[in-house]
Amino acid sequence: MTVASLVVVVALWLHDRGVQDLTGSTGTLLTSSGRLLGLLASDLLLVQCLLMARIPWAERRWGQDTLARWHRVLGFTSFWTMAAHVVVITLGYDATSPKGLVAETWDLVWDYPGMLLAVAATACLVMVVVTSVRAARRRLRYESWHLLHLYAYLGVGLALPHQVWTGTDFISSPLARSYWWTLWGAAAVATLVFRVALPLGLSWRHRLEVVRVVPEGPRVVSVHLKGRRLDKLAVEAGQFLVLRFLDGEGWTRANPYSLSASPHPSLLRVTIADAGDGSARARHLRPGTRVLFEGPYGRLTLGVRDDHRRPVVLLGAGVGITPLRALLEELPPEVPATLLVRARDEDEVLFRRELETLAMQRKATVHYLLGPRAGDGSWLPRGWDPSALRRLAPHVAAADVFVCGPTAWADAAAAAAERAGTPVSRVHQERFSW
């Protein structure tokens, strides 16, 4: 889809003498190059919106984790392409004008239709990109980052008018204008339907509310939820929901939480670590609190396995054990299974009693990897041999491996599984990152 849409915008540029203008004066060369850069940047912005529109078939096919990575890569690509468009096309207009760069830039902004909106759009997108840089994200709460990130939609909307009002590729072609408006209209509809209307409809239908809150460890609680006809929700063990607890101030901020138990027709359980304002409020939730939700999302489920007799290895760190505990509960007893639990100390091990009970019922093996993490990208505690995975899970090369935890740890654990002989296609990963 991305390639096809890029081909179409390049075709629009070619149709409007894009190549011929490259052989003209410096001004026409720069202007034509700037037009192409603008078309490509706009198209990539569109694809970004669709990647995060929570379109159900895309979520089932690739999973939100993968879609979010693609969104991030395309985000920075489209931003720098947009920045190049602004610089190159401004220089192109300046090369054909006797006014000078500053005066010509002023005229572009104030006199051309839609350009003030485009400047506001650029400011919104710059703010989103700056706060998406890893160093900036580490300094922001998830809730603050998420709120700032919503300005991307405003930026995208404000950028569209100047394209069709002043863009050479659209002014002279009603067909091109219709195509562009239709494309962006479809993206807006997809976002509103799948990110607003569908979640509201599902929340109304299933009526989730808090039943009780149970402490599980230092700064970690499980929230038990009841609802109507949850068997119709099609949620699976290993997936997550994006929840808004209607408990007062801050209810508008949503957070993603994994199921920590196999879903029941009338009950769900999520486990929440205190990692921000929204999650910190969880321990104070009262029974009867209503819940709005989006989802279910995620592909860290037993359904991704192409051979259900194959052994399973589960690797979880910290609160990343939550979806793996749900997967272990749903594993048939005849499937050989090994669970590796990574934590800094005994107090941070979640669900230990539950895990051991489930392991006994399913004849699974559980290993606890406790202690400070070794350096240089290791997923193991200090003092452990890098080949420990083969010893702890001898069938790892023939297994489906499920990994969940903080990004750096999960990447290291997935890489260890691949070094131990597990094909990349059988290493299934869910990253706790944003």
Res. 75 pLDDT band, cuts 50 70 90: confident
Q: How far apart are CA 188 and CA 419, in angstroms?
A: 43
- What number of residues does the chain have? 434
**CATH number of the domain enclosing 219:** 2.40.30.10
Residue 48, domain member (yes or no)? yes
Whether the predicted pLDDT of 288 surpasses 90: yes
Instruction: Answer with the one of 263, 281, 297 that is the final residue of a domain.
Output: 297
User: Which amino acid is present at 149?
Assistant: H
CB atoms within 10 A of CB 96: 13
pLDDT at 365: 93
Instruction: Answer with the one of 273, 297, 321 that is the final residue of a domain.
Output: 297
Residues 241 and 115 both lie in one domain: no
- Output the CA–CA distances (angstroms, integers) from residue 355 to 156, 262, 312, 329, 352, in the order listed: 47, 13, 15, 9, 5
- 67-76, 121-130, 273-282, 348-357: which has the minimum mean pLDDT? 273-282
Residue 196, domain member (yes or no)? no
Higher pLDDT pick, 430 / 365: 365
Residue 38, domain member (yes or no)? yes
Residues 279 and 373 both lie in one domain: no
Q: How confident is the model over 349-358, as pLDDT tens digits?
A: 899 999 999 9
Q: What value does the mean pLDDT of the chain take? A: 86
Residues 308 and 421 both lie in one domain: yes
Q: Give the mean pLDDT of 379-388.
A: 84
Whether the predicted pLDDT of 434 surpasses 60: no
Residue 129, domain member (yes or no)? yes
Residue 74, domain member (yes or no)? yes
Residues 337 and 310 both lie in one domain: yes
Residue 314, domain member (yes or no)? yes
Q: What's the domain range around 317?
A: 302-432
- The number of distinct structural domains making up the chain is 3
Whether the predicted pLDDT of 395 surpasses 90: yes
- Print the SS3 string covering the chain: CHHHHHHHHHHHHHHCCHHHHHCCCHHHHHHHHHHHHHHHHHHHHHHHHHHCCCCHHHHHHHHHHHHHHHHHHHHHHHHHHHHHHHHHHHHHHHHCCCCCHHHHHHHHHHHCCCHHHHHHHHHHHHHHHHHHCHHHHHHCCHHHHHHHHCHHHHHHHHHHHHHHHHCHHHHCCHHHHHHHHHHHHHHHHHHHHHHHHHHHHHHHHHCCEEEEEEEEECCEEEEEEECCCHHHCCCCCCCEEEEEECCCCCCCCCEEEEECCCCCCCEEEEEEECCCHHHHHHHHCCCCCEEEEEEEECCCCHHHCCCCCCCEEEEEEHHHHHHHHHHHHHCCCCCCEEEEEEECCHHHCCCHHHHHHHHHHHCCEEEEEECCECCCCCCCECCCCCCHHHHHCCCHHHCEEEEEEEHHHHHHHHHHHHHCCCCHHHEEEEEECC
Residues 287 and 336 both lie in one domain: no
Residue 128, domain member (yes or no)? yes
Q: Give the mean pLDDT of 319-343.
A: 93
Nearest to 396 by CA among 404, 408, 388, 384: 388
Residues 267 and 353 both lie in one domain: no
Residue 201, domain member (yes or no)? no
Instruction: Answer with the one of 132, 162, 190 that is the final residue of a domain.
Output: 190
pTM of the model: 0.82
Nearest to 17 by CA among 28, 8, 27: 28
Residues 262 and 230 both lie in one domain: yes
Q: How confident is the model over 200-220, as pLDDT tens digits?
A: 999 999 999 999 999 988 788
**CATH number of the domain enclosing 324:** 3.40.50.80
Are 358 and 314 in contact by the 8 Å Cβ rule? The answer is no
pLDDT at 367: 94
Nearest to 400 by CA among 251, 330, 300, 270: 300
Residues 156 and 22 both lie in one domain: yes
Residues 184 and 165 both lie in one domain: yes
Burial class (CB in 10 A: 0-12, 13-18, 19+), 75: buried
Torsion, Cα 148 84 162 146, to 10 degrees, reads -10
Whether the predicted pLDDT of 262 surpasses 90: yes
Whether the predicted pLDDT of 102 surpasses 60: yes
pLDDT at 64: 80
Whether the predicted pLDDT of 136 surpasses 80: no
Q: How far apart are CA 132 and CA 146, in angstroms?
A: 10
Residues 83 and 16 both lie in one domain: yes
Residues 333 and 426 both lie in one domain: yes
Residues 80 and 179 both lie in one domain: yes
